[in-house]
Each structure stands twice: as structure tokens, then as C-alpha cells.
Structure 1
Amino acid sequence: MSQALHPMLNVAIKAARTAGTIINRASLDLDILKVTTKSANDFVTEVDHRCEEAIIETLLGAYPGHGILAEESGRTHGAKNSEYVWIIDPLDGTTNFIHGLPFYAVSIALAFRDQIQQAVVYDPTRNDLFYASKGRGAFMNDKRLRVSKRTRLSDSLVGTGFPFRKGDNFQRYLKMFAEVMTSCAGVRRPGAAALDLCYVAAGHYDAFFETGLNPWDIAAASLIITEAGGLIGNFTGEADFMYQREVVAGNPKIYAQMVNILAPFTRIIKDAPAAGTPGEAAPTAEDVFIASATAAAAPAEAPKKKVAVRIRKADLDKS
């Protein structure tokens, strides 16, 4: 790389390449891979765990006072109250990886006071390294990235991701998919959001949209897109997207047209005074996300024992 990189970005790149080496080695012998199911159609492998451990070890080795938010281990590592938080997806596109489909990536972002400052997305199968520092542009390897210049949605190629978890609103998605599909030149769904979003930054896609994504899927790529001249937000076009489980991105012209289509489908959690408690703010989207993630990880409550109740004839007579 010809340019001088920020020290924190250099550490993130080192961590991403270490994880990429683990992934590439494992991809040579998928038959012995141990796969477990987190929920219906949501898989995790020993490779996810090994990559995450290697990334966290590299990051905390350099910055032990930083916090961690990672897909497989949540907030269990790092400093709990640091203003610096690394947001990590060790293997985005696990389902593709399991099947030997070469479209997956490592995603690492550094947030300072909730603003993404450093970002790396590494595609180990192509050895493509996407990276950005806030205010310093976005790059793939040594090439400066710029979003596409298309101005009409009818000429545009749009990326997306299909809902796949139990409980996802498939009918809602099909309606918005139909709206987008009939308005653009084509829709693609490779299956790794971090890489899809980087393809918006590179100009391969003119836009991207998806529901149900987590912060670690989009954190790094969001900075890479904005540093490449693109826009990213929720379905109503606002910058509040990280914890909202809906995201749309694109070059400025196409982004505006996508928002116009997607806005009616938004499910944004608004910050507002809680009913019945004047002056007290309702939980933010981040609060809701963290609470739901914590609840999902908690052991299920033991079912209450059924107690036999004897009904006397006299009671029946009274009724």
C-alpha cells in the first residue's frame, strides 16, 4: 500500500488478514467442518469462532483498553465502558462458506463515541482488501474507490439480501422486492452484506438494500461507502441505521430514488418520551438491540409446575 495508513487501521488490517488465512485453510477441507445452528437457517462454524478469537486477540493486544462488539461473543471481551468499540463480523456469509460458494468476508470497524472511524472488509478468496479511515477516502487494495455515476434507477443494478430467519416478514419483503425489481435493471443476492455494500462503494452496484441486518454486518462497509462518495441510511433516508435492522445505500442520485420506494416499508424505532413517564426517553434502537441480544442468549425460564386443583361439587352448583 502506497499511502500511510492510520495505526489503528493497520492493526485492523492485520487482524482481518489473520482471519482470512484461517478461512482459506479451512475452505480446502469443508467436509470436516463442524457446523452448528444458532437458529433456523442461521449457522455458525468452528471457523467463525477461531477467526473471532484471532481478531480479538490482535485488536486487544494492541489496544487493551478498547471495547468489543462481536457477532459470536457479543460484548464479553474488552473494556465495557470504553469510548472506542471494535465491531466485528469474523465471517460474513457463513452459509456461502459452508457450501463452498466463494462469496464471504471478514468485517472489522472501529467506532469512537458511536461514530465509525476505521473500517476493513477483507475478501479472502479474491485477496481484495477494502478499507477506509474517516475523512481520508476509501480504497480497495491501492485503488481509490468511487460510487457509480448512474442517475436513473431504471439503468441501475441493485444488490439485496433475502430474509431467511424464522419470524422474518417475508410478505413485506416480497412487496418491496417487487417494487425495486420492476424499477431497476436487475437485482442480485450473493449472500454477504459486508461485501455487497463494498461493491456499492466500488461502483459494481448502484444501490443495495436489506432488512434484518446486525451492526457487525454493516458497520465497516458503511464508512467505506460514505468515503467513496455514497450515502447510507434507513429506509426513510435518515442516518439512523446501525441498530434499525434496515439499510439502503447507493450513489446519491440512486439512493434518493431507492428511499422513495422503500420509505413506506420502514420499521424504524423512534426515540421519543415514553408514555406515562414524562421527561424520560424511550429506549433507543441500540438499547432495544442489545436487550434483545442479551435476552436471546439468556437461558430459558423453567416452566412453572402444574398444580392439580380439586373442584368440589358444591363449587359447580354455585356456578
Structure 2
Amino acid sequence: MTNVLTAVVQAAEKAGQALLASYDPASRPADRAAMYALGTRLEAASTAIVREALDGVAPGVGWWDEDETGRVVPAGRWWVVDGTEGAVNHVHGLPEWGVTITLVTDGQPELTVVRQPIGDLTYTAARGQGAHLNGQPLRVSAKTDLAGAAVTASQAGSSPAVYARFADAFVAMASKALLVRNTIPTVFPLLGLAAGQYDVFWQYEPDLPGTAAGALLAGEAGAIVTDLAGASWDVNSADILVAAPGLHAAALEVLK
């Protein structure tokens, strides 16, 4: 597994460097069509670099493609990749974007790398081996009082029913927590949670690959990861709650 992780780090760094070369802090797309065209090109180029770099590294691992299977990740072993996690940020000159590569086995993230070129940050995790940032261990918050918690969510494009559900949950959580933020892409608030900078995260209709990478990193840093019924989470779950151990039960009660 060590050799595979090393290869994944190298693939993420190579793709991230290509994204950095095309990054312009002054970028301001004129409209949604221009934004989409830029993001699509970035994603295709970066993902191609990752696939070439990882070809043959882990025999028998397929490449998950949402266009082929929908959101569902089938049984077996799959690379779940976002060549430009946070493309919307990249094309608007914002710094929160990167490359996520996760090896998923039968619905559970097994190994992940998140490369954020801005800041030269590489997050790594393997199941049972902890989570690290640039080689240094990560640990979640020790908080036990929701009234002092920094809570995050990542609710982007979805259905009107999900928007309404999220709005109700946001109000409920805001009445209990210190603060509540909603931001995209999914992986970045989870990276913050793994590092103890945030305390609770939830999302309806979780975005892959962001949650696959972020859930493993946060879990390996000591967070509790479930769905919003409190049951075990996997990449095909309908929702997700990730929280520091001392806050998970209280957050679950609010979001129920």
C-alpha cells in the first residue's frame, strides 16, 4: 500500500502542477457558459494526467465515471478522481481548488490524496494508518460543546426539496452552534475538520469524489463519520455527517 500511496501522491502533484500553470488570480469568466467551458477543459486535462500516471499502479482497479454509472460507485475497487476539485474556484481566481484521488473498495475509501497547489499542501490518508498534511499527523477538535462549534456544510446544486431541507437544517444548527458556514467544494471543509479547524460537517446528496477523500481523512484524524440517521456511512449513502467525537451526538440530534 505504501508504494501505491507514493504513486498517487506523485500523480496528484503532477496534475496539480498543470492546474497551477493555468491558474490566474485575475480570472473572471463572463457568464456560466464561459465558466463551464474553462472548468471542463481543466478537468479533462488534469484527469488525463492522473490516469496516465496511475496506469498499472494497482491492477484490477477500475475508473469510476459518473457519466456511466450515475452517482453510484459499484462494488469492487475503483479510483474515484476529481481532476479539478473546486473548478468553480479556479476559474474565478480563488485559491481553494486541487486534485483528489481516492481508492474505494466496496463502497469504503481505502486510500486518498488531496493536493492543493496553492500553499503547497498534500493531504494523505490510508485506512488504519492515520491522516497527514505534508507528512505531519492531523487530529480533529477536542470540543464537546456545540455552542462553541464551528460547523460547515457544502450544499451546491441540487433539487428544491433538498434546498428546503438544507434551509431548515441550517436554521436549526445556527441556533445551537457558534457559527455555520456553507462552502464549496466539499473536500475543503472536511480537510479543515480533519485538522481541527472545523468541528462538524454535513451534506445532503454528498458530492463525490470530495466526500470520499474528505471522509477518509477526517475519519483517520479521529472524526466520527455516519449518515444523518446515525448509521454507517459509505460512498453511496444519501447524506453524511462528520464530526469530532465530542460533538457528533449533539449534531446528529439537531440535524435529525
CA distance in 1, matches of 2:163, 2:77: 36
Bigger CA radius of gyration: 1
What displacement does 1:189 show?
Answer: 2.9
Residue 24 of structure 1 is matched in structure 2 by 20
- Structure 1 residue runs of 4 or more that deviate by more than 4 Å after TM superposition: 29-37
**Is residue 59 from structure 1 mapped to residue 67 from structure 2 by the alignment?**
no
Q: List per-residue Cα deviations over 1:96-141 (Å, max 9, x = no partner).
A: 1111111122111112333322111111111111111111111001
* TM-score using structure 2 length: 0.88
User: 1:141 maps to which residue?
Assistant: 134
2: CA distance, partners of 1:236 / 1:245 = 10
Greater mean alpha carbon deviation, residues 60-69 or residues 228-237: 60-69
Q: What is the aligned-residue identity percentage? A: 25
Q: CA deviation at 1:188?
A: 2.2
Q: Which residue of 2 aligns with 1:317?
A: none
- Specify every segment of 5 or more residues in structure 1 that has no aligned partner in the other structure, as ranges: 264-319
Counterpart-to-counterpart distance in 2, 1:44 and 1:134: 31
Taking the aligned partners of 1:115 and 1:17, their CA distance within structure 2 comes to 24
Aligned-pair CA distance for 1:173: 1.2
Gaps of 5+ in 2: none
Please give the alpha-carbon distance, in whole angstroms, between the structure 1 residues aligned to 2:68 and 2:117.
26
- Name the residue aligned to 1:269: none
Task: Find 2:194's aligned residue among 180, 198, 201.
Answer: 201
Moved more, 123-132 or 157-166: 157-166
Q: Which residue of 2 aligns with 1:242?
A: 235
| Conserved 8 A contact 1:214-1:242 | no
**Partner of residue 101 from structure 1, selected from 94, 101, 104:** 94
1:155 alignment partner in structure 2 = 148
Given that residues 160 and 188 in structure 1 are in contact (C-alpha distance below 8 angstroms), is that contact kept between their aligned partners in structure 2?
Answer: yes
Count of aligned residue pairs for this structure pair = 252
Question: Closer, same or farther in 2 for the Cα pair 1:86/1:257, shift >3 Å?
Answer: same
Structure 1 CA distance for aligned equivalents of residues 76 and 163 of structure 2:
37
Bigger RCO (CA 8 Å, 6+ sep): 2
1:46 maps to amino acid: R
User: Taking structure 1 as reference, are residues 99 and 139 closer, same or farther at Cα in structure 2, changes over 3 Å only?
Assistant: same
User: CA RMSD, aligned part only?
Assistant: 2.9
The TM-score normalised by the length of structure 1 is 0.71
